[in-house]
Amino acid sequence: NFSVFNAIKAAKQYEELSSHVYDATEKAIINGSKKAFYQTLLLNEVWQVNKESEKNAHENYLNMKKKYEVGLASELQMLQAEVRWQNLIPNLTQSERNYQLALNSLKSLAGINVEENFEIVGKLQDIDIKASKMEMVDILNNRPDYNAKLWERKLRESNVNVEFSSHLPTLAASFVYQYSALSDEFKLERENNYLIAGLSLNIPIFSGWGTSARVQKAEIELNKADLELNKMEDQIFIEINNLELKLTESEKRINSAESTLNIAKKAFNIAEITSDNGLSTQLELKDARLAYDQAKLNYYVATYEYLEAYFDWELAVGLTK
């Protein structure tokens, strides 16, 4: 019976399809987990920047207060320093809250009790990971979602064969063996052995066009699967090109942000020294600190965006693990 053979083949193909769907889901979860971890790391860096900035502003205020008390600074300078410090406290509180919320989400994702003490370890700097060029055929072989679509196409092809099998004759074989014996004196005297074998051939003649309609429908589904497979190949090619462009852009942003950070740090150090010596105002010190903090945040954000693009590239080429 050709229908039975094709059905068994289709069942094995469905098992392969399900396996690739599971792998694709697993890789997507890993990709999301990596992003969640580094996003939490980014929010921790933002919190640390705000904490350092608030601490610096508070120390500057206390310094100005001492100078004011001994007549080395004006009341205006002291008040400006205090206002600068007080204005940074809400940012510090908000950044700490954002980090704790992200940390709780990460705990939930990892299956860790929210009440358990948990800290992440890592730095958003000195990241040394690069995307490498890969052949399209290797990428397609690596991607479980593409392989799932490929096995879906094979399954559709098997379905065409299953439906077409209804046009074909079926051959059934049977085999029966029977043994019997009779005796009046507890002794088997008359033994009988029967062996029956048979073949049954069923030839379909006319099914009211129902079989032809089912075959036609299965062929349409197969053609649809072919189109979806070709479309997916094009989408994967475009996706990888876009991610490579994004990685190149992100790498340039990291280099630019790092250069700006070094300049901003130097400018703040100069402003801090000149302010202590009364050669620059509190406003100039504030502007230098804001520029320095923003440069640090820009560097961390650029690094995170590069990592995010790299993780998406890993997923796109099937290397997520």
Higher-confidence residue of 109 and 8: namely 109
Among 17-21, 43-47, 117-121, the least confident range: 117-121
Q: CA end-to-end span of the chain, whole Å?
A: 44
pLDDT digits (tens, 9 = 90+) for 2-12: 555 666 777 78
* H or E, element range at 257: helix 210-276
Q: pLDDT tens-digit profile of 205-225?
A: 555 555 677 778 878 888 998
Higher pLDDT, 179 or 32: 32
54-68, 114-128, 153-167, 277-291: which has the minimum mean pLDDT? 153-167
Q: Go through the domains of the chain in sequence order and give each one's CATH number.
A: 2-167+212-316 (1.20.1600.10)
pLDDT of residue 1: 47
Instruction: Please give the structure tokens belonging to residue 316.
Output: 């796109």
DSSP track, 154-173: HHHHHHHHHHHGGGS-EEEE
Mean pLDDT of 196-210: 58
For 166-182, write each residue's pLDDT tens digit: 555 554 555 665 655 55
Rounded alpha-carbon distances, angstroms, from residue 247 to 20, 62, 82, 152: 28, 45, 43, 33
**Model pTM score:** 0.77
